[in-house]
Amino acid sequence: MVGLKRNIRKTSKFLMRDNLILTAGAGLGFCSSLAVTNKLENSLTMGLGVTFVTAGSFCLVYPFKRLISTAGTHHKISLLMIIVSVFVAIFGFFAQSFVPEIAANIKAYIDLITTNCIVLAVISEGLTVNFWEAQRKIFKACLGYSLALVLLAFLREPLGFGTVMGFSVLPATFPRVVLMITPVGGFFALAGFRLLLRPILIKAGIVYPEAPSSGLVTATDGGEPVPVTQPKRRVSKTSFIAIGLGVCLFLSIIIHIKTIPSLHQQFSILIPVLLSALFFDGIVLSKLLGICPLLNKSRQIDAAWKMGVAVIIVTTLSTALNWLVYHHILVKCSDFLSRYSPLPLRLENIFYLTVFIVTIAVFVQVLSVLLRKFAKNVYEQMGQFLELITVNCIVLASATFTIPTGAKFFVTTVTALGYGLHWMMVVIWLALLRRQRLVVPTTVWDEDTIAILLLGIMAAIFTGIGMIQIF
């Protein structure tokens, strides 16, 4: 019995300690854990895909670890994402062949394995150790990730559908909790698991309670901690004048657009698209993407809005550029090859993911160089955020969700702009809420769990707003 308890304890520590979803506070891998766990079959497929992609990509990258390690941060991230995108495309083809229904349901999130924080973090960490030690770390991280997906699916699918893997487990008379299969249920399920598991794991010594943040208190001569009072920020008169002029300019544009029939027609189409991406079909609260950088950058208001501005710029411009590359290069090359090739090869269906990654990486690098040369002050303010945006999944998602569907150029660009504005709005709101320092037991709650609950409340509010028919 003692040996059994010891083995259970070792296994629990192996799977739960530093589990990047259930116990760790890094906020990695949250997007897919919320998006695909409404069914167990989706969770198993995603866990298998992450394991295959991570292990395969690392085996290809490891022989060149010295070259990659000496490269700059942006070049290293871009190169890793390009290699990962190739293995994601391979896994996507296998999934479409063997489990086409599941692949169709989560295809968008299979593509976004390319920007999965866990994959990139584990590969980067593996380059610092020997090959077999790196494989052990990859196995541990991917197994813990898959376990978290399965646990969440075992909670959400029975309550939402009454089934597990298509088999009925609850009687038909049992009330279905439809909330559990929505984005709102994803936030609350993940926060609930972290809340329930944390005191048990702390008591068992598997994880440790967080130390209080050094920025909250300072020690006086008497040894008693005293809260640090932060100076209140006031909005200057210049800001008020700028906001007023902006509102007047916006109203005047609307009035003049209505007088021109062609512009008014475009305006009536694009405004609902923008409002839908901004409020009703948001990239964070509806599609459950961009959560990892959102949790990390919402700790400070200053970092939140700067990252938000960078996300808006990169998401909008890179998506517009990807639309041009997709339709004017990939599609036209496929049309040209189809005239001479007996095989019906469509490059836009095979290489679109890798091409989107290359376009985003090149665009971010060019933008960084231009800002460093012509606007050095702006670059110093957001240069570090530009490099991190390459791994923000909403930049890639804004392209993969709209461009392959055949959306027009302006619709795609306005949707990307709405996604960026939505991400900025949510990260600033969350930063303002986290600044209040809600009083909760620190041994039971951790900061990210509180943030996930706040996001769940926001998602519930916007879900209710989305049911209002405006257009």
Share of the chain above pLDDT 90, in %: 14
What is the model's pLDDT at position 9? 60
Arithmetic mean of pLDDT, 287-302: 84
What is the model's pLDDT at position 49? 93
Which residue type, as a one-letter code, is found at position 208? Answer: Y
Arithmetic mean of pLDDT, 7-12: 60
Q: What is the dihedral of CA 52, 56, 59, 64, to 10 degrees?
A: -130
What is the model's pLDDT at position 159? 87
Which residue type, as a one-letter code, is found at position 43? Answer: S
- 271 within a domain of the structure (yes/no): yes
- Domain boundary residue, one of 133, 158, 181: 181
What is the model's pLDDT at position 294? 86
Q: Are residues 267 and 166 in the same domain?
A: no
Share of the chain above pLDDT 70, in %: 76
Q: What is the dihedral of CA 437, 443, 447, 453, to 10 degrees?
A: -90
Which residue type, as a one-letter code, is found at position 460? Answer: A
Arithmetic mean of pLDDT, 132-137: 88
- 249 within a domain of the structure (yes/no): no
Place of tokens 């506070």: 25
- Domain boundary residue, one of 143, 159, 181: 181
Q: Are residues 39 and 162 in the same domain?
A: yes
pLDDT value at 53 more than 90: yes
What is the model's pLDDT at position 45? 94
pLDDT in tens, 99-114: 999 988 888 889 888 8
Which residue type, as a one-letter code, is found at position 141? Answer: A
pLDDT value at 50 more than 90: yes
Q: Are residues 175 and 305 in the same domain?
A: no
Which of 5 and 439 is assigned the larger pLDDT? 5
Q: Are residues 331 and 452 in the same domain?
A: yes
Q: Are residues 276 and 401 in the same domain?
A: yes
Q: Are residues 174 and 267 in the same domain?
A: no
Arithmetic mean of pLDDT, 412-435: 90
pLDDT in tens, 433-442: 887 665 454 4
User: Could you give phi then psi for residue 226, rounded to 5 degrees?
Assistant: -120, 130
**Domain total for the chain?**
2
Q: Are residues 293 and 437 in the same domain?
A: yes
What is the model's pLDDT at position 184? 81
Phi-psi region of 144 (alpha: psi -120 to 50; beta: other; left: phi over 0): alpha
- 337 within a domain of the structure (yes/no): yes
- 195 within a domain of the structure (yes/no): no
- Domain boundary residue, one of 152, 181, 210: 181
Residues 6+ apart with CB under 8 A from 308: 420, 423, 424, 425, 427, 428
- 147 within a domain of the structure (yes/no): yes
pLDDT in tens, 166-188: 888 888 888 888 888 888 888 88
What is the model's pLDDT at position 69? 74
Q: Which two tokens stand for residue 414?
A: 């306005």
Q: Are residues 323 and 444 in the same domain?
A: yes
Q: Are residues 170 and 307 in the same domain?
A: no
Task: Measure the CA–CA gap between 394 and 344, rounded to whole angstroms.
Answer: 31
Classify residue 115 by its DSSP letter: G
With H, G, I as helix, E, B as strand and everything else as coil, classify residue 234. coil
- 241 within a domain of the structure (yes/no): no
Arithmetic mean of pLDDT, 14-32: 68
Q: Are residues 268 and 417 in the same domain?
A: yes
- 360 within a domain of the structure (yes/no): yes
Q: Residue 334 is part of which domain span?
A: 261-466
With H, G, I as helix, E, B as strand and everything else as coil, classify residue 282. coil
**Model-level pTM?**
0.81
What is the model's pLDDT at position 8? 59
Q: Are residues 121 and 26 in the same domain?
A: yes
Arithmetic mean of pLDDT, 405-412: 89
Which of 318 and 250 is assigned the larger pLDDT? 318
Arithmetic mean of pLDDT, 128-134: 88
pLDDT value at 189 more than 70: yes
Arithmetic mean of pLDDT, 340-369: 83
Residues 6+ apart with CB under 8 A from 44: 146, 149, 150
Q: Are residues 170 and 282 in the same domain?
A: no
What is the model's pLDDT at position 214? 43
Which of 41 and 300 is assigned the larger pLDDT? 41
Arithmetic mean of pLDDT, 66-78: 75
**Bridge partner list, 218:** 226
pLDDT in tens, 141-171: 888 888 889 989 988 999 888 888 888 888 8
Which of 215 and 394 is assigned the larger pLDDT? 394
What is the model's pLDDT at position 54? 92
Average pLDDT value for the chain:
79
- 389 within a domain of the structure (yes/no): yes
